[in-house]
């Protein structure tokens, strides 16, 4: 083999070895990154048994309590139903927290990482047996990670940043859905609306019912005591809006509600009835109060959200 060919062969081999080395470094780095956070922090933790959660952050305090399989926001003198999905998401994240190598065991350095007892975000979870899991969440590391320490431990680790789930704002946890027992709009068989239109102040009273119509394969929405043909899409939008109606907030202070201006009554196909009344807020014409028949909570709703439901019956008649 002449010198030129030897150079070409050697260059090719060298190039191959370099590429192999580069790919090895890349994939080894990725694997190391995955292995970096592979140790479960709470191998013993059972999120299904949790019965109380206390979060403290920036001198603010939130308490969530579980009773009869329902999570509530504890306000001291009353409890407000909490978003079950949000609570379960938090507990699942806590259960699945993974940590990497130990950062420090030196308690004098806890302050530097934000995990000292006096300057941290804390969560204390008590289960149905009385067992307590307590964690201190510290400073963030490039947004995706944060420092963590068990309150009864001396070791600081880095873990996934779940700061967005550690809110102490009670409103973030309220279940603001009005008709909580109505799972989907297709369960509604009839809707009755009575009261004053919020825009025109005209009095309204009508019932929409879904039933068999001659010549139609599917059940159709009809106006009771009327032969007018309805725009089915418009009524479906109404039922969907009703089923998913959410308040903007909850009225915590005591307030006596008298003389509702609007009432909505619905009946499900299984015969279950539910209703809510709407009351004027005399201090704000764009805000209203609502009270559901089987719920003591007073909800605050916007005029816009209610106007999408309480329309005059002519709106649904096919033009």
Does residue 53 sit within a domain? yes
Task: Give the pTM.
Answer: 0.80
Q: How many domains does the chain have?
A: 2
Alpha helices in the chain (DSSP H): 3-36, 84-95, 110-113, 170-173, 232-243, 303-307
* pLDDT band of 28, cuts 50, 70, 90: very low
Q: What is the DSSP string of 177-216?
A: BS-TT---GGGEEEEEEEEE-TTT--EEEEEEEEE--TT-
Q: How large a percentage of the chain has pLDDT more than 90? A: 74
Domain with 199, as residue range(s), is 185-316
At 171 the pLDDT is 94
Tens digit of pLDDT for each residue in 71-130? 999 998 889 999 999 999 999 999 999 998 899 999 999 999 999 988 779 999 999 999
Does residue 119 sit within a domain? yes
Do residue 266 and residue 191 come from a single domain? yes
The b/e string for 176-191 (b: 16+ C-beta within 10 A; e otherwise) is: bbbbeebeeeebbbbb
Identify the CA nearest to 200 among candidates 312, 278, 283.
312
Do residue 213 and residue 150 come from a single domain? no
Cα separations (Å) of 11 from 5, 20, 21, 216?
10, 14, 15, 79
Do residue 121 and residue 189 come from a single domain? no
Would the pLDDT of 194 be above 90? yes
At 13 the pLDDT is 52
């Amino acid at each position: 083999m002449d010198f030129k060919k030897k150079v070409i062969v050697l260059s090719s081999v060298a190039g191959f070895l370099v590429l192999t080395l580069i790919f090895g470094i890349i994939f080894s780095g990725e694997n190391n990154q995955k292995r970096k956070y592979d140790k479960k922090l709470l191998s013993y933790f059972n999120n299904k048994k949790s019965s109380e959660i206390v979060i403290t952050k920036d001198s603010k305090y939130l308490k969530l309590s579980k009773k009869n399989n329902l999570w509530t926001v504890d306000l001291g003198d009353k409890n407000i139903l909490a978003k079950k999905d949000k609570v379960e998401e938090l507990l699942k994240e806590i259960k699945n927290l993974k940590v990497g190598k130990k950062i420090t065991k030196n308690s004098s350095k806890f302050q530097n990482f934000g995990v000292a007892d006096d300057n941290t975000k804390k969560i204390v979870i008590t289960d149905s047996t009385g067992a307590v899991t307590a964690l201190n969440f510290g400073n963030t590391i490039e947004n995706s990670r944060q420092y963590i320490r068990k309150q009864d431990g001396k070791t600081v680790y880095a873990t996934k940043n779940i700061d967005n789930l550690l809110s102490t704002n009670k409103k973030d946890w309220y279940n603001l859905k009005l008709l909580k027992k109505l799972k989907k709009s297709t369960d509604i068989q009839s809707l009755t609306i009575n009261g004053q239109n919020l825009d025109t102040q005209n009095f309204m009273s009508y019932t929409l019912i879904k039933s068999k119509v001659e010549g139609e394969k599917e059940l159709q929405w009809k106006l009771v005591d009327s032969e007018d043909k309805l725009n089915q899409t418009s009524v479906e939008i109404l039922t969907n809006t009703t089923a998913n109606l959410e308040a903007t907030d909850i009225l915590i202070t005591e307030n006596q509600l008298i003389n509702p201006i609007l009432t909505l009554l619905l009946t499900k196909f299984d015969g279950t009835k539910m209703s809510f009344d709407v009351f004027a807020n005399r201090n704000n014409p764009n805000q209203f109060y609502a009270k559901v028949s089987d719920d003591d909570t007073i909800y605050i709703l916007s005029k816009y959200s209610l106007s999408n439901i309480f329309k005059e019956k002519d709106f649904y008649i096919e033009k």
